[in-house]
């Protein structure tokens, strides 16, 4: 594993734990010499995580649609910044550059990115690990929904098991290194 793609909020969220988690993940990736691939913004959890990785000597690769650059949210100090035309191109390039995927708290864009990458895995388009980092109870309703979907026959247990969960960055990265989700 050389690079980890992280999906997360362009806002800081309501609790300081979210910023702490983003900072911790940025530092953990740099400490393991893993490049961070993310949405390229300087705001919210995205910017906090990128700044932490850069400050720790890490490589940070941003991928941002031109429409967001024009709104002046692009991070100007990254190792690489790729400007693309569409959100679909953004997701495709982020997936191409990454060896694993992590979701931190975020909004509907974060969920869109997470579920598209899970769908690609279910369809056999990649075999890369996927995980959720949850500092408390942010993703609890989502995890419960996934388990409910299994119980109701709409999601196979094997597909539910593709999404690893952890509270701390090092725990999730260790799961990835061992090749064992959950």
Count how many domains the chain has.
Answer: 1
The alpha helices in the chain, defined as continuous H runs, are 16-31, 44-55, 66-70, 87-97, 108-122, 140-151, 157-160, 169-178
Q: What are phi and psi of 28, to 5 degrees?
A: -65, -40
Rounded to 10°, the helix 169-178/16-31 angle is: 40
Domain assignment present for residue 24? The answer is yes
Q: In which domain, by residue range, is 83 found?
A: 8-175
pLDDT tens digit sequence for 132-146: 999 889 999 999 999
- Its sign, for the CA torsion 68, 100, 80, 35, is positive
Please enumerate in sequence order all residues whose Cβ is within 8 A of that of 10, keeping only pairs 6 or more positions apart, or say none. 39, 41, 43, 44, 45, 46, 73, 106, 107, 109
Match 């734990």 to its residue by tokens.
Answer: 17
Domain assignment present for residue 49? The answer is yes
Domain assignment present for residue 161? The answer is yes
Total-model pTM: 0.95
d(CA 127, CA 99): 9
Domain assignment present for residue 1? The answer is no
Domain assignment present for residue 182? The answer is no
Q: In what order do the strands lie in the sheet with 80-84?
A: 80-84, 60-65, 35-38, 3-7, 100-103, 130-133, 163-166
Domain assignment present for residue 181? The answer is no
| pLDDT (0 to 100) of residue 182 | 44
What share of the chain in percent tops pLDDT 90?
93
Domain assignment present for residue 131? The answer is yes
d(CA 64, CA 79): 14
Please state, as a whole number, how many other Cβ atoms lie within 10 Å of the Cβ of residue 182. Answer: 11
Tokens found for residue 67: 């429409």
CATH number at residue 80: 3.40.50.450
pLDDT tens digit sequence for 85-110: 999 999 999 999 999 999 999 999 99
Nearest to 46 by CA among 101, 13, 99, 8: 8
Chunked into runs of 10 residues, the chain (182 residues) has average pLDDT values of 97 96 98 98 97 98 94 92 96 97 97 96 95 93 96 94 94 89 48
Please state, as a whole number, how many other Cβ atoms lie within 10 Å of the Cβ of residue 22. Answer: 31
Domain assignment present for residue 54? The answer is yes
């Amino acid at each position: 594993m050389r690079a980890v793609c992280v999906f997360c909020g362009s806002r800081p969220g309501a609790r300081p734990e979210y910023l702490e988690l983003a900072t911790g993940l940025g530092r953990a990736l740099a400490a393991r010499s893993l490049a961070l691939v993310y949405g390229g913004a300087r705001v919210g959890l995205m910017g906090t995580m990128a700044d932490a990785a850069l400050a720790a000597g890490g490589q940070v690769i941003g991928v941002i649609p031109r429409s967001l650059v024009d709104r002046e949210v692009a991070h100007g100090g990254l190792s690489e910044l790729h400007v693309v035309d569409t959100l679909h191109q953004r997701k495709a390039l982020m997936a191409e550059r990454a060896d694993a995927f992590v979701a931190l708290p975020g909004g509907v864009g974060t969920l869109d990115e997470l579920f598209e990458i899970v769908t690609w895995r279910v369809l056999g388009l990649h075999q890369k690990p996927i995980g959720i980092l949850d500092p408390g109870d942010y993703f609890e309703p989502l995890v419960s929904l996934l388990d409910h979907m299994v119980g109701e026959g709409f999601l196979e247990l094997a597909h539910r098991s593709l999404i690893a969960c952890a509270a701390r960055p090092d725990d999730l990265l260790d799961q990835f290194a061992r090749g064992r989700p959950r």
